[in-house]
Chains A and B, each alone.
Chain A
Amino acid sequence: MKDQDLAPWPQAGFDRRAFLKGSSAAAAATTLATHATQAQAQAAAPEIVGRQSRLVELKVNGKTASVRVEPRSTLLDVLRYQLQLTGAKPVSIDGSSGASTVIVDGKPIAANTTLALDCVGKSIQTVESLGGEKPDAVVSAFVHADAMQCGFCTPGFVVAVRAFLDKNPGATEEQIRSGLNGNLCRCGTYANVVMAALEVVKGGSRG
């Protein structure tokens, strides 16, 4: 119970299934087997080790935040449960939906397959940083092009488009269509996302 005492609520962590399967490629490869033999998989689950939590500092959206993490805590859970930054969403077990996309040291990553401890000392930028009094050009373009319906995938998409256009500020429509396939939208906003991204390209750099 000791680590329990060390880790007050909320205690973030991998979900067990995700842990069993590992992340990304491994998860995809084992999913079929896992769902067919779920009962056995559960029975054979190894002990999860290393629950000791400790306080660390994360640099999020330009501010330093003190958070309590375990070795297994994901960045997504820390953002959502400790910092109340709920823009990044939990959708897939392996990052294949892009809904948890945040920018770490300038690169878009899936926060649900990134360990919080790995982000210590790095600069983390979430979708919330693109809002405020004068929203980022990508946000404005998404609103103007109505590139959202239910909106659950939208924050991840906004971050992905921001990162993509930072790297490819003059992207053509063809490049946009081939470069933004990491994000999933069930409501079908892709056509509007293309319009939004093109609008940002035509409107010049970020503003």
Chain B
Amino acid sequence: MANYVWPKFGTATVIGKRHDRVDGVAKATGTAKYAYDINPAGMIIARLLGSPHAHAKIKSIDLSPAKKVPGVVEAVALKKADDELLFQGEEIAVVAAESEAAAAEGVAAIKVEYEVLPHFVNDTDLAAAKAAGMTGKGGKNISLAKEPGDDDDEDEFTEKEINRLLKESAVVVEGEYGIHMITHMCLEPHGSTCEWKDGKLVAHLSTQNVSGTGPQFAGPLGITADDVTVHCDYIGGGFGSKFAADTWGVACAELSKKTGRPVKLMLDRDQELKIAGNRPSGFLKCRVGADKNGVITVWDSEQWGTAGAKPGVVSEKVVPYVYEPKNRRVISHTIKTNRGLVRAWRAPNHPQACAMSQTAIDDIAAKLGLNSLDVFKRNLVHVANGKAEVYAAQMDVAARLIGWNDKWHLHGKGPKKGSIVEGLGLAIHTWGGGGHTSKCTIRISPDGGVSSTLGSQDLGVGTRTAIAAVVAETFGLTIDDVQVNMGNSKYPASGPSGGSTTIGGVSESNRRGSLDALDKLLAVVAPKLGVTADQLEAKGGRIQVVGSPSKSLGWKEACSLLGMNAIEAQGEYVRGSKDAKTGADSKLSNSQVGGVQMAEVAVDLDTGVVKMKKFVAVQDVGTIIARKQAESQVYGSVIMGIAYALFEEQIMDQASGAFVNCEIADYKLPRLGDIGDIVVEMYEPESEYNRGVVGIGEPPVIAPGAAISNAVANAIGVRVSTLPMTPQRVLEALKGRKA
């Protein structure tokens, strides 16, 4: 069996290099087909009716007027009388018609009688939520250096100890920090185009879970998973919200079965924002004690927020974020609201935790009149993920790239140019990112063709490019020589793309499968070259004797020796598995990265507008497979971070319970002119390369909120307590009001 390792540091010829995305031209010229773009002959179009109310009970549903609308083919109710609707947009019925217009008319014609019930959509005010009976069980994260005595009541002891530590601190920061709920807002809305062929379902689904969604269709439709093919060559955004078939996916398949015609059902834009995923809000009140150098001595905080209509809250386990002082008490409360349901959002819990706690750390520096960078560095003594040294080194790199030492001034003490002040801020993050379980089939054809086939997907990270790079590296070929087949649930199963697990997972399976396939090829070639297989290597498009490259065969010639028999090898990796023989961890992939980010902003004191000047992201990443695409992940994450730091939030109308800014024009996001200068720096000493592959889809999206908030605080001398830092909130903070 092959030795599953990467080439020695510095010897790789394909992985880690800069490659054009293999499907780049298809994406850039519009020939890449997304679920929305698949139009089988005879297709009809379905639309969804969602609840207009934030909280209501259905008294009756009458579909018959919809069925009378010209062009309407079928209508199906997803709810029945007496069902409770918990948020605006909740699914009620679907209508399929000959055209989008007819489907929309059909939806509008459905008669639903509602009993409107009282709603609650306020997630900022914990007392109000308690009074309304909308709070639920949260959690505790308590740690004290000192143990309680046998007779001590634990809560009382904690209370006393925390108060004692606060009293003994050189400084205590009391603050409130928050971050509003945002939605995923995939540009391709959730949905599918479904068709039945010979009693079997083909679902062209916009999904980040090609191999896992089949059973979700099969169950409700009363067929077996074998009778479902999920197909997704391209997906227009997911960010953690597209793991499921969803009610509307199953409804689409059902409509197709009933009508005998292919059906397309994509959510409308407002529905995409209302019901297809949100990221929980988080609000935190704290008292933090520190010594005169700014090193935290005690942390005491209480947090709350909403995950929508089902209880949930940002985990107290990751607060305070990355920095975990020995003395801490973190209490969380959940608030149930009549708002859409939570879905995983890029690095669940972490961005909110970072924004709610690393801002307080910066306020320690402000209060003591210290340099924030020094305070963040000194507090590395509290880092428990084993990466303190990596963070320290990354801080130096980031500081150099942003010019920290030259530009630093104490909080609110910078020069004023007209009404403009500038500031610097930083934050750090961490993420697991270990590879997911993945299988693939590697094939070498007698004509020299090479392919990898697996049920994976490309969320945008460049999955095909990474796979092609791994296979090409192993066979001594170039990326263009490798055909990658994915996006079909009938292919060998590969994990869902979530938690930065994809590149680790598919690199594992493809390296393993390719090494095994290569062994088989070398065994066939060896007699021809008069050597044993272990004396051979694949390099530069040839199979050659190690050390004497003149004894070699070209790749095609070598493959022609296979006669009629193509080589097929199965690559397989089980998440977290150890080497069968040695019991050691895999050398191909790893987990846990750090990362340091610094922001430079300019704030207009008259208008409250925050402008990004520069943003530096230093990221460790293990073995890099496709360098350009890895960098793109960091650029994209930073821009998404700028979005939630300065622009986007779900705005609820308290009176009606409506999500009022659920269209593109109203849901503020940064545009190309809003991002400033972004510098991406991979932190990669040799030790990083030797760790194996770690995913980085999530880590760089975590710290921008805190880093930018800290930069704004440094510029204007007061904290804008809540993200996003809209001009209004900046102005309120300047006036000394809570925004």
Residue contact B30 to A39, C-beta cutoff 8 Å: no
Residue contact B24 to A152, C-beta cutoff 8 Å: no
The segment out of B145-153, B513-521, B669-677 that lies at the interface is B669-677
Residue contact B100 to A15, C-beta cutoff 8 Å: yes
Residue contact B661 to A32, C-beta cutoff 8 Å: yes
Residue contact A187 to B269, C-beta cutoff 8 Å: no
CB distance from B647 to the nearest CB of A (A): 11
Interface status of B326 (Cβ within 8 A of chain A):
no
Residue contact B28 to A149, C-beta cutoff 8 Å: no
Q: How far is the CA of A36 from the CA of B102 in the complex (A)?
A: 24
CB distance from A71 to the nearest CB of B (A): 11
Contact flags B52-81 to A (C-beta < 8 A → 1, else 0) = 110000000000000000110000000000
Which of A9, A89, A130, A194 sits near B187, CB closer than 8 Å? A89
Given known contacts A152-B237, A188-B638, A86 and B29 CB-to-CB distance under 8 angstroms: no
Interface status of A122 (Cβ within 8 A of chain B):
no
Closest B residue to A74 by beta carbon equals B100
Residue contact B460 to A96, C-beta cutoff 8 Å: no
Which of B30, B100, B238, B671 sits near A87, CB closer than 8 Å? B30
Q: How far is the CA of A90 from the CA of B269 in the complex (A)?
A: 9
Residue contact B30 to A150, C-beta cutoff 8 Å: no
Residue contact A150 to B39, C-beta cutoff 8 Å: no
Q: How far is the CA of A90 from the CA of B186 in the complex (A)?
A: 12
Given known contacts A146-B24, A184-B669, A128 and B30 CB-to-CB distance under 8 angstroms: yes
CB distance from B699 to the nearest CB of A (A): 14
Q: How far is the CA of A131 from the CA of B640 in the complex (A)?
A: 29
Interface status of A55 (Cβ within 8 A of chain B):
no
Residue contact A80 to B635, C-beta cutoff 8 Å: no
Q: How far is the CA of A28 from the CA of B664 in the complex (A)?
A: 9
Tell me how many residues of B have a C-beta within 8 Å of chain A: 83
Interface status of B42 (Cβ within 8 A of chain A):
yes
Given known contacts A15-B104, A88-B30, A177-B673, A97 and B635 CB-to-CB distance under 8 angstroms: no
CB distance from A98 to the nearest CB of B (A): 9
Contact flags B20-36 to A (C-beta < 8 A → 1, else 0) = 11011101111111101
Interface status of A99 (Cβ within 8 A of chain B):
yes
Residue contact A89 to B29, C-beta cutoff 8 Å: no
Q: How far is the CA of A9 from the CA of B101 in the complex (A)?
A: 12
Interface status of A121 (Cβ within 8 A of chain B):
no
Which of B234, B643, B659, B664 sits near A35, CB closer than 8 Å? B659
Residue contact A155 to B101, C-beta cutoff 8 Å: no
CB distance from B378 to the nearest CB of A (A): 32
Closest B residue to A149 by beta carbon equals B460
Interface status of B662 (Cβ within 8 A of chain A):
yes
CB distance from B338 to the nearest CB of A (A): 14
Q: Give residues of chain B (223-237) contacting chain A, Cβ–Cβ below 8 Å.
A: 234-237
Residue contact A36 to B639, C-beta cutoff 8 Å: no
Interface status of A186 (Cβ within 8 A of chain B):
yes
Closest A residue to B670 by beta carbon equals A190
Q: How far is the CA of A153 from the CA of B236 in the complex (A)?
A: 8
Which of B53, B100, B187 sits near A12, CB closer than 8 Å? B100
Interface status of B739 (Cβ within 8 A of chain A):
no
Contact flags A96-137 to B (C-beta < 8 A → 1, else 0) = 110100000000000000000000000000111011000100
Given known contacts A94-B665, A149-B636, A181-B671, A155 and B29 CB-to-CB distance under 8 angstroms: yes
Which of B28, B44, B114 sits near A148, CB closer than 8 Å? B28
Residue contact A131 to B25, C-beta cutoff 8 Å: yes
The segment out of B163-171, B293-301, B624-632 that lies at the interface is B624-632
Closest A residue to B671 by beta carbon equals A181
Residue contact A10 to B53, C-beta cutoff 8 Å: no
Closest B residue to A151 by beta carbon equals B27
Residue contact B30 to A190, C-beta cutoff 8 Å: no
CB distance from B594 to the nearest CB of A (A): 21
Interface status of B723 (Cβ within 8 A of chain A):
no
- Which of A10, A87, A142, A186 has its CB near the most chain B CB atoms (within 10 A)? A186
Interface status of B86 (Cβ within 8 A of chain A):
no
Residue contact B237 to A183, C-beta cutoff 8 Å: no
Given known contacts A36-B656, A184-B187, A192 and B635 CB-to-CB distance under 8 angstroms: yes
Residues of B within 8 A of A153 (CB): 187
CB distance from B204 to the nearest CB of A (A): 12
Residue contact A36 to B653, C-beta cutoff 8 Å: yes
Residue contact A146 to B632, C-beta cutoff 8 Å: yes
Residue contact B31 to A87, C-beta cutoff 8 Å: yes
Contact flags B675-693 to A (C-beta < 8 A → 1, else 0) = 1001000000000000000
Which of B21, B70, B659, B664 sits near A92, CB closer than 8 Å? B664
CB distance from A130 to the nearest CB of B (A): 6
Residue contact A139 to B459, C-beta cutoff 8 Å: no
Chain A interface residues toward B at CB < 8 A: 1, 3-4, 7, 9-17, 27-28, 31-32, 35-39, 42, 45, 48, 72, 77, 80-81, 84-94, 96-97, 99, 126-128, 130-131, 135, 139, 142-144, 146-155, 158, 176-178, 180-194
Chain B interface residues toward A at CB < 8 A: 20-21, 23-25, 27-34, 36-37, 39, 42-45, 52-53, 70-71, 88, 98-102, 104-105, 107-108, 114, 185-188, 234-239, 268-270, 458-462, 628-629, 631-633, 635-640, 643, 653, 656, 658-666, 669-673, 675, 678
20 A-B residue pairs with CB within 8 Å = A9-B43, A9-B44, A31-B663, A31-B666, A35-B270, A86-B33, A93-B664, A142-B28, A143-B21, A146-B462, A150-B187, A150-B236, A151-B27, A151-B28, A152-B188, A152-B236, A153-B187, A184-B664, A185-B639, A191-B635
Sort A-B residue pairs by CB-CB distance and give the 5 closest, nearest first.
A87-B30, A188-B639, A13-B101, A152-B236, A149-B460
11 other A-B residue contacts (CB within 8 Å) besides A135-B28, A153-B187: A1-B70, A9-B43, A9-B99, A32-B661, A87-B31, A88-B30, A128-B29, A142-B28, A146-B631, A152-B237, A185-B639
